[in-house]
Amino acid sequence: MRQAIVVIISGILGVLGAFAPLKAASAEPQKVYTGIYLMNVYDLDVNEYSFYADFYLWFKWKGDRDPTNIEFVNSIEKWGFTQTMFHDTALVLPDGYFYNGMRVEGRFYYSFALSRFPLDRHSLDIRLENVIHPVDSLIYVPDTTSVYQRKDLVIPGWSIEKSTITSHVNFYETGFGDSSQRADRFSNCTFHLLISRPWSYFLLKLMLPLIVVICASLGSLFIHPVYIDARTSLPIGGLLSCVFLQQAYSSALPDVGYMVLMDKIYLLSYLLIAAVMFRLILAGNILATREGHSGEGILRRDKILAILFFVIFLLGTLALVIFA
């Protein structure tokens, strides 16, 4: 009797062992190959921290879980958001994969970090996530067999560097008020479009006017010290011009609680003009208190000082661009 029980138990364990690999295999998450083709990016608004995007999105998968029930995590203005499916039901491809997709157009949120303005670079993100199946049931895998953007895509005022797709896990550390619902993880697929401002914007539209103002202010050191009124008028005009130029570009930026790169360059400019003004005052006092002083020696030293100030300004700007 005891031997019969042992045989029966051994048989049951053998059957369970035979089904164990099948059970483990069924527990694997369903892989969904996800691709995107970006058509247009427009109305990129740094002040509103948002942009509009128009793109195609598709899925290829094997399994009974529908991957098209998605939510765009960083989408805003839901009332203007459109999602048009390719097909009412998924197609079956010759290789056995299910296939479906959609065309999407809407506004997306992106937190622009402007500390490097006007040499800032940004990765515009479009994030999608399944709203039904957690990561242990379904995961999105980037489809690397296709291009990600239209070849002639242009964003006025920006240079497009590259585009990529990545997949990661998004963990919600809450049950959303339902004590019976545990915190769970969901697969997240993110499209990145890396853009940057062209150097021509920095050099021609921002730095060139500033350099002209700096040169005009330093020009006062080339005027003979006896013409004190003409000497002081140049840096005073340069100071006012710097203030107006800084306000011009600042009006196009949102209110941030830190100094951007261009602010630091203008701070250097203010210090330079202040140093010029201090030198002019010092030279004027020397000329006024020393009888018979022609001012030629002061003029020679001021010319050397002007060249030195300009070199310091260029090196300081270069250091800010590299290290700030």
Of 197, 212, 234, the residue at which a domain comes to its end is 197
Strand 91-92 to 121-130 pairing: unpaired
- Work out whether the CA dihedral 167, 172, 175, 181 comes out positive or negative: positive
Say if residue 106's pLDDT is above 50: yes
Percent of residues, the chain, with pLDDT higher than 70: 89
Q: What HEC string does 45-70 produce? A: ECCCCEEEEEEEEEEEECCCCCCCCE
- Whether 169 and 210 map to the same domain: the answer is no
Q: ω before 209 within 30° of 0 (cis)?
A: no
Give the chain's mean pLDDT: 89
- Whether 33 and 171 map to the same domain: the answer is yes
- Whether 182 and 242 map to the same domain: the answer is no
- Whether 216 and 301 map to the same domain: the answer is yes
With contact defined as beta carbons under 8 Å apart, do 24 and 136 qualify?
no
> How many domains does the structure of the chain reveal?
2
Averaged pLDDT for residues 149-154: 93
Of 197, 213, 234, the residue at which a domain comes to its end is 197
Query: Tokens for 112?
Result: 């622009």
**Domain carrying residue 317:** 200-323
- Whether 186 and 209 map to the same domain: the answer is no
With contact defined as beta carbons under 8 Å apart, do 34 and 143 qualify?
yes
Strand partners, 126: 191
Averaged pLDDT for residues 129-133: 90
With contact defined as beta carbons under 8 Å apart, do 225 and 283 qualify?
yes
- Whether 169 and 58 map to the same domain: the answer is yes
Query: Tokens for 240?
Result: 């006012």
What Å distances lie between residue 99 and 30, 61, 92, 173, 267, CA to CA?
A: 14, 7, 6, 32, 57
The pLDDT, as a whole number, for residue 312 is 97
Q: Distance between CA 51 and CA 155 in Å, rounded? A: 11
> 187: helix, coil or strand?
strand
Averaged pLDDT for residues 287-312: 88
- In this prediction, residue 145 has a pLDDT band, given cuts at 50, 70 and 90, of confident
Say if residue 49's pLDDT is above 60: yes
> 36: helix, coil or strand?
strand
- Whether 147 and 219 map to the same domain: the answer is no
The 10s digit of each residue's pLDDT in 18-32 is 444 434 445 689 999
Of 174, 197, 220, the residue at which a domain comes to its end is 197
Helices 261-289 and 296-323: angle between axes, nearest 10 degrees: 170
The 10s digit of each residue's pLDDT in 167-194 is 999 888 777 777 666 668 899 999 999 9
Q: Distance between CA 188 and CA 198 in Å, rounded? A: 31
Give the max Cα distance, the chain. Answer: 132
Say if residue 82's pLDDT is above 80: yes
- Whether 134 and 222 map to the same domain: the answer is no
The pLDDT, as a whole number, for residue 21 is 45
CATH code of the domain covering residue 117: 2.70.170.10
The four Cα atoms 235, 241, 247, 249 give a dihedral, to 10 degrees, of: -110
- Whether 174 and 311 map to the same domain: the answer is no
Q: Which of 127-141, 147-161, 164-178, 189-203 has the lowest mean pLDDT?
A: 164-178
